[in-house]
Amino acid sequence: MSFARKVWRLLVGIKDALALAFLLLFFTVLFAALTARPNPGDVRDGALLLKLDGSIVEEVATIDPLSTLLSRSLPTREYAAHDLIRAIDSAAEDDRIKAIALDLTTFTGGGQVSVKDVADALARFRATGKKVSSYALAYTDDGMMLAAQADDVWVDPLGGVAIRGPGGTILFYADALKRFGVTAHVYQAGDYKGTGEPYANAAMSPEFRQNTETYISQLWEEYQAAIVRARPEADFDAITTNIEAALTAEDGDMAKLAVNAGFADTIGTYAQWGAHMAELAGKDEWSDLPGAFAHTELGVFLANTAADDDTGDKRIGVVTIAGAINDSNAGPGTAGAARIERLLNDALDDDLAALVVRVDSPGGTVTGSETIRRALMRYRDKNIPVVISMANYATSGGYWISTAGQRIFAEPETVTGSIGVVLMVPSFEGLLRDYGVNPEHIGVTPLSGQPDLLGGFSPEADALLRIETQSYYRRFTGLVREARKLSQAQVEEVAQGRVWTGGTARQIGLVDQFGGLDDALAYAAEQAGLEDGDWGVKRLADKPDPFEAMVASVLTGQPPEARAPLSVSAAIAGDKREIVADMLRDLEQILATPGVQARCLGCVVEGQARSSVDAPAPLGWDAALSFLTGR
């Protein structure tokens, strides 16, 4: 009996071991399948399928698995502009790729410069004689920028064109704060610096409105000109200002209006477009589904394409500063100064021939901006050329950082400037009085317990915060004066918080020349004495975490039906949750961001969502005195 029990235990142990081994093997294979790079051998003769199920960005943000699970919503997929450009340019030289199939059904847009850079790559592809064909249910502003480069633009019978132009709503809280007994102490340097206005004013100041309307009008003109260059027959009035009359004339058929207004060429379903692609690129021998055609997906093609740093003996470093600037290790997708400083310091001994800084930020903390600028100056101190390449935004803190460059490249659509600073601190003495709470102050100096968020600010605390803000502004304008070789009077003319487009910024001396990232790289190579073909690109970035890569693959690799196609009405209406999110971010900005900010609020109306700063800043005088720094 004892022997039988031992045999039984042995058999159970073997069974458990086998079960455990099987589970380990299963999860190992699953993990490998989810994280494995696509097989380069999968590149097929046919089309390169660019199904853009998300947005185009300068730097793909990391996905926080916990936040994603708590939010119970899938993150919007992001595509790095440089990856798309690399794929398109490589496809132009690849004999296996006969055409590009551009599926914009669930494309959510991107910054105007980033999208234009991808559009320019599509134009280069067409110049080789290969075809580009696009399809969508609704073409929005950014989608139309890409589709305009296609040989033929298909629109679904239920679809149309929804172009709105730059603009948006900025909420003003002064009356609401007054109603609830909250005092917003706003210290602002720069007559046109609008970041503090929503908390100090009940409406937009004439200066802020004038500056904002000027530059968004210039962006709109650049956008229309780019579309008309690609599609000369495009009639913007028909789909914007005269849309009711134009739609009435077409019996409400938005797809027909898109064709007759010159924005689309053919009305057809996805299956019909797929049949057209099969004629251009070949039939899919492995599928008999409607609309199937021979193609290679973007991820597979990129895996088969040489990376930027696969050529040449010398390296030019490229560091991307994207998103709101703070003082943390946050990012990518957020410009965490500690992270970027570490990347720059680690690469300082890598024998880089030059450094190109790709700036795509509306600014953030002064301390974070200065941390990054100082890290860049260490390259200048070693006689390594530093060149700035501005993307969609390089305002406020983004321009502060840019003063470290020897030369600044920007596009006409780049939004830059906003040279000014702001500090916002709330106090609640009015609210407390309404509820019968009477604070009494005790201290040994006028600054004891100041700023007092509950009892109100003393005149000395108020003066200190105001003077420090002005001091930061003088520091900012001093950096601009030295870097741009301008007089103080000239700096004041272009500063004061004014926002400029790239074209105007070039005229007034804030930008040196027009050009994209490739132009900045070519200039950096010239300054380093490098010949064509003798250098490659080294992108300064942390290696992706395998677990995060697996999670990202799972969360963003959902099937096509997981995202609803954008109809025209949905594209016009947008996601109204963004309005609530903006309100919450505004509240967070005044309550949870200590320190002086070099941030551009007006830039939000161009269409890019504002980013919150959720990391503590090094303590300046204002933050050290603030109760908020105890969070």
pLDDT in tens, 67-121: 555 555 556 789 999 999 999 999 999 999 999 999 999 999 999 999 999 999 9
Sign of CA dihedral 607, 613, 619, 625: positive
Q: How confident is the model at residue 456 (pLDDT cuts 50, 70, 90)?
A: confident
C-alpha–C-alpha distance, residues 489 and 479, integer Å:
14
Q: How confident is the model at residue 570 (pLDDT cuts 50, 70, 90)?
A: low
Alpha-carbon distance values, 277 to 27, 90, 294, 618 (Å) = 39, 20, 8, 56
Q: Do domains 42-164+240-303 and 308-546+617-630 have the same CATH topology?
A: yes
C-alpha–C-alpha distance, residues 403 and 388, integer Å:
9
Report pLDDT for 608: 42
pLDDT surpasses 80 at 588:
no
Report pLDDT for 561: 40
pLDDT surpasses 60 at 44:
yes
Strand order in the sheet with 97-103: 266-267, 152-162, 131-140, 97-103, 46-51, 295-297
pLDDT surpasses 60 at 531:
yes
pLDDT surpasses 80 at 551:
no
What is the residue-averaged pLDDT of the chain? 84
Higher pLDDT, 570 or 460: 460
Higher pLDDT, 564 or 332: 332
627: tokens are: 């109760």
C-alpha–C-alpha distance, residues 592 and 584, integer Å:
11
Burial class (CB in 10 A: 0-12, 13-18, 19+), 127: exposed
- CA quadruple 14, 20, 24, 27: dihedral, nearest 10: 140
Q: Choose from 27-36, 197-206, 515-524 the range with maximum mean pLDDT.
A: 515-524
C-alpha–C-alpha distance, residues 503 and 522, integer Å:
21
Task: Give the burial string for 58-70 (b: 16+ CB within 10 Å, else e).
Answer: bbbbbbeeeeeee
Report pLDDT for 249: 94
Higher pLDDT, 198 or 135: 135
Report pLDDT for 597: 72
Q: How confident is the model at residue 309 (pLDDT cuts 50, 70, 90)?
A: low
pLDDT tens digit string along 395-448? 999 999 999 999 999 999 999 999 999 888 888 888 888 888 888 888 888 888
Query: What is the arithmetic mean of pLDDT over 322-334?
Result: 91
Task: Give the burial string for 577-611 (b: 16+ CB within 10 Å, else e).
Answer: eeeeebeebbeebbeebbbbbbbbbbbbbbbbebb
Strand order in the sheet with 597-599: 183-189, 421-427, 597-599, 363-365, 325-326, 335-336
Helix pair angle (112-127, 81-92), 10° resolution: 0
Which residue type, as a one-letter code, is found at position 434?
Answer: D
Domain boundaries, the chain: 42-164+240-303, 308-546+617-630
Q: What is the pTM of this model?
A: 0.83
Higher pLDDT, 614 or 176: 176
pLDDT tens digit string along 244-291? 999 999 999 999 999 999 999 999 999 999 999 999 999 988 888 888
Chain CA centroid to CA 169, Å: 19
Report pLDDT for 626: 39
pLDDT above 90 coverage of the chain, percent: 57
pLDDT surpasses 90 at 492:
yes
- Which residue reads 């058929």 in tokens? 253
Task: Spell out the CATH class of 308-546+617-630.
Answer: alpha beta
Q: How confident is the model at residue 552 (pLDDT cuts 50, 70, 90)?
A: low
Radius of gyration of the chain (CA): 27
pLDDT surpasses 60 at 550:
no
- The terminus-to-terminus CA distance of the chain in angstroms comes to 67
CATH 3.40.190.10: does it fit domain 42-164+240-303? Answer: no
User: Are 174 and 184 contacting, i.e. CB atoms less than 8 angstroms apart?
Assistant: yes
Report pLDDT for 40: 47
Report pLDDT for 313: 79
Helices (H), 231-296: 236-239, 243-249, 254-260, 270-281
Q: Of 181-185, 406-410, 414-418, 602-606, where does mean pLDDT reach its minimum?
A: 602-606
pLDDT surpasses 80 at 606:
no
C-alpha–C-alpha distance, residues 82 and 318, integer Å:
11
Contacts of 104 by beta carbon, 8 Å cutoff, 6+ apart: 52, 134, 135, 136, 139, 143, 146, 147
Report pLDDT for 96: 95
Q: How confident is the model at residue 621 (pLDDT cuts 50, 70, 90)?
A: very low
- Total number of residues shown for the chain: 631
Report pLDDT for 127: 96
Report pLDDT for 564: 61
C-alpha–C-alpha distance, residues 233 and 229, integer Å:
9
User: Are 590 and 584 contacting, i.e. CB atoms less than 8 angstroms apart?
Assistant: no
